[in-house]
Structure 1
């Protein structure tokens, strides 16, 4: 590839990285699973020590699937926050109901701590690749985490094995609104040369 094309591609990549935003307001149309699969086929080329490919994915975008997910997540919220009012619980369910699709990223937890850390890092790299590919296609995502990722009842509801857990719950869809760019600390303030 000629060097000028490489420079152009690098600047496009740089622009995608710098412009990507976490999207929380979506249009109602779900992203077709074929598009998700296509992006994952490229995203899987993330750095992955020993090429363990510890990941698998559950895409929830059907009305039935979303209803199951919402009820499962609501039950978890009620269990983890017993004083949650019915009104707050309903608001939580309504918020989830406005998300057109959920990509549940599952990874195998190796018994070896170092391998487990490597696998989580690889899965996180895949997720970042996915988010950048999605942004390039006009698809928005927000990476969700929290205690729900570790809950065994939630794991069972989605068929996770004993040696698996969620790396992320990614809300996905076509953006209805994109937030403004947040100021970032200049990297020179976090850079040491020795």
Structure 2
């Protein structure tokens, strides 16, 4: 079988231009075709995961389902936020889904049979979300992974087929970008975060 060659420069460019694009930056009412959403989810499904547990779970809201989700998360937040209730956050929870084409709930389904550390299942799900980010960027769309609002509310899990042992890891908003960003996201030089060892253990660094 002939080895397939990929365009590394194009991949590098996709990664470089990956950005969080917020729902208020989307073209309201312009819908992303469902087949593109399915391909984004298929790419997420190809994420690395220890022992093939495939812990990621997705609930997709679109069409009239966005209104249901909007009311649902805003209501859960208002009922359970307590003293931490914030009116501006409540409004975002209600408005953001209605500005989007699709909202994908990110869940991690705990697999006890293999007794993996929970962090490995969370890391695998995060890899799946990164695949989604890069796929959305490649399609020229915008997306935003939110972990605010009801993400860490235990009361929210059951609404997305998650049990007490599972994790709700946030909400992934997708839409057509109203005005594509010009600047890339800011990062300090990678050299500041890398230790590179070129000598054997017997030598000093």
Q: Which category describes the TM-score, using the shorter chain as reference length?
A: 0.7 to 0.9
Cα drift, residue 21 of structure 1: 1.2
Query: Comparing 44-53 with 110-119, which one deviates more in the overlay?
Result: 110-119
- Distance, in Å, in 2 between the alignment partners of 1:33 and 1:50 is 30
Cα drift, residue 148 of structure 1: 1.8
Q: TM-score, normalised by structure 2?
A: 0.79
Q: Does 1:67 align with 2:67?
A: yes
Name the counterpart of 1:178. 180
Q: Does 1:120 align with 2:118?
A: no
- Distance, in Å, in 1 between the alignment partners of 2:141 and 2:109 is 27
Query: Comparing 45-54 with 144-153, which one deviates more in the overlay?
Result: 144-153
Name the counterpart of 1:103. 104
Alignment deviations for residues 80-116 of structure 1 (CA, whole Å, 9 cap, x no partner): 155545x874465234321221011211134588531
Structure 2 stretches of 5 or more lacking a match?
198-205
- Distance, in Å, in 1 between the alignment partners of 2:12 and 2:179 is 22
Alignment deviations for residues 34-56 of structure 1 (CA, whole Å, 9 cap, x no partner): 22112222332221111111112
- Distance, in Å, in 2 between the alignment partners of 1:147 and 1:91 is 9
Cα drift, residue 145 of structure 1: 0.8
Equivalent residues of 1:16, 1:132 under 8 A apart = yes
- Distance, in Å, in 2 between the alignment partners of 1:169 and 1:122 is 16
- Distance, in Å, in 2 between the alignment partners of 1:157 and 1:187 is 40
- Distance, in Å, in 2 between the alignment partners of 1:84 and 1:150 is 15
- Distance, in Å, in 2 between the alignment partners of 1:91 and 1:149 is 14
Aligned match for 1:12, one of 10, 13, 19: 10
- Distance, in Å, in 2 between the alignment partners of 1:161 and 1:33 is 28
Equivalent residues of 1:21, 1:178 under 8 A apart = no
CA-based RMSD of the aligned residues comes to: 2.6
Cα drift, residue 70 of structure 1: 1.2
Aligned match for 2:133, one of 131, 134, 140: 131
